[in-house]
Amino acid sequence: MDIYEDIRKGERGAWVSITAYLLLSAFKLISGYIFASSALLADGFNNLTDIVASVAVLVGLRISQKPPDSDHAYGHFRAETIAALIASFIMAMVGIQVIIAAVRGLIEGKHAEPDILSAVVALICAVAMAGVYWYNRNLAKQINNQALMAAAKDNLSDAMVSIGAAVGIIGAQFGLPWLDGAAAIAVGLLICKTAWDIFRDSTHNLTDGFDEKELTGLRSTIARIQGVEGIRDLKARVHGNHVLVDVVIEVDPELSVIEAHEISDRVEERMRKNRNVMHVHVHVEPKADEVGSPV
């Protein structure tokens, strides 16, 4: 598996997102001002934050391609996670600003009725973003890239936000002009929710958190390997889009060093067949009896 080739493919998806967000945000912001739609404007600002997030992912992917050096023995794969963390703060600030502006407009009674054409714009953008989601989702599955899959889910949420904006605009045509501002608040909340999700996942990975179900699956796989008598300890952590595994296995104490080493090699080989497992450190111990002494 060429890890760096997969990362370069992931860059393609990031560029697709950046290009789409640049075009759609400009389209929405210009249309929002022309048609007096705060919901469409909020949706456009939402896409601007997504440009920042996509650029952060792209920068992270670029840095993560740097080979290991004396200061980074495991490589630079966590650069992508750090970039996503920075993007989450930027997204949160913009989301809060959108909410504040919309609430101020509702309080001051600014209920300008948006043109119905702004709803058409929102729906066209929703369809376009759904296409970007489809592309990035398929590419993420192909290269098994969790960051790109997260970006694809963000693309899908953006399509849903545009649909929500269209609903608010259409509602305003039926004597409910405040519904457009309410839709803007909903968009702001969705921006903050996306920022929180990215922040939570990034901090979880940076603090060496790991999903317990995945760890159980790794344990089950190792336990079935021929020659493994028991598992004394197992740890795993996320390194960018990849996984680092540390395991202490028990083997028959009567085995030679060469035979125990062969079992260790089998564990490493089997683990690397799992998705995204980049490095495996195996420590071998003799299987102990019930009183703690080697059998």
Q: What was the pLDDT predicted at 290?
A: 47
Same domain for 188 and 242? no
Cβ neighbourhood burial of 38 (10 Å; 0-12, 13-18, 19+): buried
Gap between the Cα atoms of 48 and 37, Å rounded: 17
Which of 206, 229, 261 corresponds to the end of one domain?
206
Gap between the Cα atoms of 99 and 188, Å rounded: 5
Whether 246 is covered by a domain: the verdict is yes
Which of 176, 206, 236 corresponds to the end of one domain?
206
How much is the pTM? 0.74
Same domain for 173 and 259? no
With contact defined as beta carbons under 8 Å apart, do 68 and 77 qualify?
no
Same domain for 27 and 132? yes
Neighbours of 294 (CB within 10 A): 12
Gap between the Cα atoms of 5 and 120, Å rounded: 40
Q: What is the pLDDT of residues 163-222, one digit of tens each?
A: 878 877 787 777 776 776 787 788 788 878 888 888 898 898 888 888 888 888 889 999
Residue range of the domain that includes 130: 3-206
User: Number of folded domains in the chain?
Assistant: 2
Cβ neighbourhood burial of 210 (10 Å; 0-12, 13-18, 19+): middle
Same domain for 196 and 228? no
Whether 292 is covered by a domain: the verdict is no
Same domain for 218 and 181? no
Q: What is the pLDDT of residues 235-251, one digit of tens each?
A: 999 887 778 999 999 99
Whether 275 is covered by a domain: the verdict is yes
Which of 173, 206, 239 corresponds to the end of one domain?
206
Residues with Cβ < 8 Å from 196, sequence gap 6 or more? Answer: 88, 92
Same domain for 143 and 165? yes
Q: Hey, CA dihedral for 121, 127, 132, 137, is it positive or negative? A: positive
The CATH number covering residue 238 comes to 3.30.70.1350
Question: pLDDT below 50 — which residues of the chain?
Answer: 1, 290-291
Q: What was the pLDDT predicted at 109?
A: 67
Gap between the Cα atoms of 241 and 49, Å rounded: 23
With contact defined as beta carbons under 8 Å apart, do 54 and 18 qualify?
yes
The DSSP bridge pattern shows strands 242-251 and 277-286 to be: parallel
Same domain for 129 and 240? no
Gap between the Cα atoms of 273 and 230, Å rounded: 21
Q: What was the pLDDT predicted at 291?
A: 44
Same domain for 190 and 238? no
Same domain for 225 and 196? no
With contact defined as beta carbons under 8 Å apart, do 241 and 80 qualify?
yes
Gap between the Cα atoms of 46 and 30, Å rounded: 14
Strand, coil or helix: what is 263?
Answer: helix
The CATH number covering residue 26 comes to 1.20.1510.10
Same domain for 147 and 238? no
Same domain for 197 and 221? no
